[in-house]
Amino acid sequence: MEKKNKKTLNTPECPPIPLTRKELKDLFNYHIPCLCCGEEMLHPDIYMQMLDMKELGGNAANAVKFLEPYEGIMHSVEKQVFNMFKTMSKKYPNKNFQELLIMKKDIHELALVKIQSSIFNKVSFYRRILPKKMARQLRKLMIKTNDIIFDPEPHKPFSRRIFINKLKNILKQLENKKLKNEIIEIARRLPRSSDEVCAFVVKNARKKPEVIALNLIHPSVGTFEHLTPRCMKGLNNSLNFGLECSYCNNSRHHYPIPIQIEENPYMPQNAQIQADKLISLYKKGIGKKEYIENLREVLYWLSDRTIDLDISKLYIS
């Protein structure tokens, strides 16, 4: 009696991983710009060393001196706040960063509320043209939101992200897509601590001085961004890693890349700048061609073909 041959299963092979985590992290040593915002990133190991620096929680004069070497890689708002600290520390050298921010909090809070209320008024206007149910829901949201921003000591501080998500939920059944996008776009103009000094001051004035000091640097720290989020079964290796600053990585959460591009319209151009830098490093023997090729392919499809990297220089000797 003949033995039956066992069927062989043709399982697809997992593609080789272009770079190890260590090799990918080493790229941060070479002034890599962020995939999303284009800002130069700080090596994460340097930031980890800062966590134990007692100087950051001490008087402002010493903290300023410690942070000065990193001023060049600070994002725009953080750099403005740092310059404010430098000026104030000359007059109040024994105060720490929190004490200095508290001195500025009231005036910056008024400026912040002025910007916020102007945007809320524009959003509220659309109650006149929305369906009745949506208009009522929007009215409730705006009443609660105004209660928060006009309360000097609210139970919970205002969250831009939560507000926009609630607004999206209210409008998700709206058939007029153009109107929906118009309203959400206005809400996206609400200031963030990353793009308005007044928002940074108000948000950080309640934090410890060492945390404030670290927050001047933290947005610039290099990270591995999961291009396909892990909650959507994205791989946890360099086949799915992009190099982004901590701010852009944290801001994205699990949203798809097209949403990230909506918040950061220059992301396609900045991704190209990073790719050019990676190609330049590869030609110097740093990094691998396969990582750049894979990055181009993944970004192209995940961005709905919006990010189409030109890597032709990779093949020119």
- Statement to judge: residues 49 and 35 lie in one domain: no
- Statement to judge: residues 109 and 209 lie in one domain: yes
Domain endpoint, select from 187, 218, 249: 218
Q: What is the pLDDT of residues 111-155, one digit of tens each?
A: 999 999 999 999 999 999 999 999 999 999 999 999 999 988 888
What the block records as the tokens of 114 is 């002025």
pTM of the model: 0.81
Cβ–Cβ < 8 Å for 214, 64: no
What the block records as the tokens of 81 is 């706040």
Alpha-carbon distance 272 to 279, whole Å? 10
Domain endpoint, select from 218, 247, 266: 218
- Statement to judge: residues 271 and 301 lie in one domain: yes
- Statement to judge: residues 55 and 132 lie in one domain: yes
- Statement to judge: residues 174 and 261 lie in one domain: no
- Statement to judge: residues 35 and 110 lie in one domain: no
Burial code (b: 16+ CB inside 10 Å, e: under 16) for 91-117 equals eeeebbbbebbeebbeebbebbbeebe
Q: Is residue 9 part of a domain?
A: no
Instruction: Mark the ranges of the chain whose per-residue pLDDT is less than 50.
Output: 1-12
Domain of residue 148 covers: 44-218
Query: What's the pLDDT at 6?
Result: 44
Indicate the number of domains in the chain: 2
Amino acid identity of residue 237, one-letter, is N
How far is C-alpha 233 from the chain's CA centre?
21
Query: What's the pLDDT at 10?
Result: 44
Query: What's the pLDDT at 258?
Result: 94
